[in-house]
């Protein structure tokens, strides 16, 4: 049932939001040189690395690390990129990853390939067997503001509580959080 919801939801999102995709891609390209999409190496189900698309929010040449690890993130994040991050519009291309099965609509957010601490905590909690999500329980409970240990704890709580009703609750809460920009630090 979860995979069917992923396919239907991602396909519908890709079709309905295609004008938004085009407008955002154009704006990203007009603001700074480089491609509209950034393909980030992420840790997926069973700790397999996969390429995850996002609208580019940083200048080309930015270090490939989590934004909170940059000494001066403001020098790398573009003005339009700040807006995309605050509204979570930069995440929309991940609907493609959901459609092809690399991700789910709801699950733990995919860790960067070099976030060994988060990957290890998830492995210990059994969370690594889940498909990563476009949104997740940790996302709606703090996003960037959460320490790694708390993200992993919330991911484990999601694993224990997984259900269609819980996924629908997380999706609804995500929509509200995205509109408010709550929990985004960069």
Task: Check residue 42 and report its DSSP letter.
Answer: E
Where residue 186 falls among pLDDT bands split at 50, 70, 90? very low
E strands within 18-95? Answer: 37-43, 49-55
Per the listing, tokens 């190496």 go with 41
Per the listing, tokens 């069973």 go with 46
pTM: 0.87
Structural domain includes residue 95: yes
Structural domain includes residue 38: yes
Structural domain includes residue 82: yes
Tell me: the pLDDT tens digits for 25-71?
999 999 999 999 999 999 999 999 999 999 999 888 766 666 666 66
Our count of domains for the chain comes to: 1
- Alpha carbon of residue 26 to chain centroid: 21
Enumerate helices (H) and strands (E) in the chain, giving the number of each. 7, 5
> Residue 111 is part of which domain span?
2-180
Structural domain includes residue 54: yes
Structural domain includes residue 17: yes
E strands within the chain? Answer: 37-43, 49-55, 104-106, 111-112, 133-135
Structural domain includes residue 186: no
Structural domain includes residue 154: yes
Tell me: the pLDDT tens digits for 67-120?
666 666 677 789 999 999 888 899 999 999 999 999 999 999 999 998 999 999
Structural domain includes residue 185: no
E strands within 17-127? Answer: 37-43, 49-55, 104-106, 111-112
């Amino acid at each position: 049932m979860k995979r069917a919801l992923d396919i239907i939801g991602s396909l519908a999102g890709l079709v309905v939001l295609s004008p938004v995709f085009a407008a955002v891609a154009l704006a990203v390209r007009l603001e700074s040189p480089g491609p509209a999409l950034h393909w980030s190496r992420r840790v997926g189900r069973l700790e397999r690395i996969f390429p995850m698309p996002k609208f580019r929010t940083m200048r080309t040449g930015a270090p490939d690390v989590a934004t909170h690890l940059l000494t001066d993130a403001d020098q790398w994040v573009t003005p339009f990129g700040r807006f995309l991050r605050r509204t979570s519009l930069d995440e929309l291309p991940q609907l493609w990853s959901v459609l092809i099965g690399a991700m789910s609509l709801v699950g733990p957010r995919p860790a960067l390939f070099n976030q060994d601490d988060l990957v290890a905590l998830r492995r210990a909690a059994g969370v690594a067997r889940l498909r990563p999500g476009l949104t997740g329980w940790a996302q709606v409970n703090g996003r960037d503001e959460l320490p790694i240990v708390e993200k992993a704890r919330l991911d484990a709580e999601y694993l224990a509580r997984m259900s269609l009703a819980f996924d629908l609750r997380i999706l609804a809460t995500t929509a509200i959080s995205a509109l408010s920009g709550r929990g985004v630090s960069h």
